[in-house]
Amino acid sequence: MRIDILSLFPEMFGGVFGASITKRAIEKNILDIAITNPRDFAFNKHNQVDDTPYGGGAGMVMKPEPIFRAIKSVKEKTQIENSRVVIMCPTGKTFNQQKAIELAKYDQLIFICGHYEGYDNRIVQNLADEIISIGDYVLTGGELACMVVVDAVSRMLPGVLGSGESAPTDSFYNGILEYPQYTKPREYHGLKVPEVLLSGDHAKIAKWRRQEALRTTFNNRPDLLKTADLSKEDKIFLASLNDEK
């Protein structure tokens, strides 16, 4: 996958993309990330990318010309058909795991990271295929939000994770939260690993993990259960939890 990011602060991405899973994905040539600075496409000698809003108001607004020109340059250079332009903005739909899976199916993602008071709306209406927010809060710019999305999408690409089972067992992947995990030692300060995990009975372990995942979701994010794919056995277990509560 090719990922292009339009950002006024390219230096912000070095630490995140130069480490961990994202770095390995780049080294394996599974992921190719390029940063483009819209200032390089500004018209005047000051490389101006923002201006005062028409109609008055506080703050500055990102100008359309540098963004339009930057997007055109990226598309002409890469010439990838299966591509999607994403604007990071608090006004967008909230990002989730299903969106990460969906975005991972594209050959190219182009992210536009905003700053100041927002974008000239002609950018939004004419360049963006979709607008994404990572939560109901406002950040200084779209860079941090973009990093979150890129990290989540990268995990969905074949060959990125060390284990093929890692992604499907992540929280949210199948609509519920992940089950509790344990590792060595078997006992620490009197705290023991659940016996079922030491039993070697894979069917019992799978059942325990499913029920504990449901319990965690029930306690922490019950809203997810409204749309989760639940079996008859799942519903019976959740009913017992509700009775206990």
Provide the residue-wise pLDDT of the chain in tens; the chain has 245 residues. Answer: 999 999 999 999 998 998 888 898 999 999 999 999 999 999 887 889 999 999 988 889 999 999 999 999 999 999 999 999 999 999 999 999 999 999 999 999 999 998 877 899 999 999 999 999 999 998 999 999 999 999 999 999 999 986 554 555 555 567 799 899 999 999 999 999 999 999 999 999 999 999 999 999 999 999 999 999 999 999 999 999 999 87
Locate CATH 1.10.1270.20 in the chain: 174-244
Residue of 198, 197, 216 lying closest to 207 (CA atoms): 197
Locate CATH 3.40.1280.10 in the chain: 2-154
**Longest distance between any two alpha carbons in the chain, whole Å:** 71
Enzyme catalytic residues: 90, 117, 155, 170
Residue of 37, 24, 40, 34 lying closest to 80 (CA atoms): 34
Whole-model pTM: value is: 0.84
Residue of 27, 153, 39, 26 lying closest to 101 (CA atoms): 153
Q: How far is CA 156 from CA 104, 153, 197, 200, in A?
A: 6, 5, 27, 30
Q: Return the pLDDT at 117.
A: 78
- Cα 218 to its chain centre, rounded Å, is 23
Query: How much of the chain is helix, strand and coil, in % rounded to 5?
Result: 45, 15, 40
Return the CATH number of the domain spanning residue range 174-244: 1.10.1270.20
d(CA 167, CA 161): 8
Helices within 79-159 (DSSP H only): 97-103, 121-127, 143-154
Q: Return the pLDDT at 18.
A: 87
Class of 2-154 in CATH: alpha beta
Helix (H, G, I), strand (E, B) or coil at 86: strand
